[in-house]
Structure 1
Amino acid sequence: MYPYYYYRVSNWGDVLNLLQQSLFAEKMVCAMSSELFHIPATKDLEGNRQMHDHLVPASYHLLTATGSAQRLINGEDRQSIIDTLVACINNAQDQNKKVRVGLSTMLENASQEYKPFIDLIIKWQNQKEAYLSQAKDTVRSMGISFTTESNQQNGGNQSY
């Protein structure tokens, strides 16, 4: 059905593992940055709300990509699953760029007491993005293209 079928099947485990590692780091970013809303000194920290406006869709796309990889591991092999995985990796990466802007704003506006905490969130964000990028590279090595075509087909809509 697909070119390089055997090669693809034998690498979905690597993709899934990398996406799960990225998802673990995402959980830490979400838990730590959300905690700031519950600390009186940081509840209104500039940049946090804006960062979350992009963290939520980034999380959604990472979860969807991970679920798609799991489905491929389980033996499903429809091209639409692969297309979903590709689009969601791209969309997560796009949202992550905006998450970074919010994190930078947070770091600039935090008191000295909370800067190390936000630095730690940024380190988790770095890990999340590194694993996601490695997953993308692994998918590419399987002969799958990451064009922006998937976003254009949706008219730029990133919620699927």
Structure 2
Amino acid sequence: MTIRFPKAGVGALLALALALAGCANNAYLASKSYTASGGQMESDIATANSNLATAQQTNVQLKQDVALRNEAIERDARRINTLNGDLNAQDAQLKRALQAKKVSQSRHAELKRQLDSIRQETQNADLENQRAKMAKTPDPKADAAKEAHLRDLEKRKKDLDTALKALTAN
């Protein structure tokens, strides 16, 4: 048994076969030129390696930044703890001065208000520090404000300490 194809069908099949062979040949040639020495693949690999090196450098820098930030937050926490301890000592000193009648009731109340104000602001600074620790991204403006606030609190605590020493020296 022989199969007969119409003449138009054989031509169409032949054209289709030639077209498919041409596509396969084009894909082969494109692949060959991509992978050939000095071809596009080497350029793509070089670009990818360059991007990787840049990303690794950025990652190292980010890790260093995080470590410095955590160190600053811990340093601020120590400063706040020191302030709290000093305020507790000043409170006890003020109480002893009142009991020893080295300070008048009105002056005691004034100094106690100052001490309580510093203590309240120190608690606020501690909350700011805890928020900074939990923040996903640093806020340089908030960090600078927190630093200025801590310096102000330390100065006010020192001024209060000077006033208390003057009272107990009498």
Taking structure 2 as the reference length, the TM-score comes to 0.47
Which structure would you say has the larger RCO, counting Cα contacts within 8 Å and 6 or more residues apart? 1
More helix by share: 2
Taking structure 1 as the reference length, the TM-score comes to 0.49
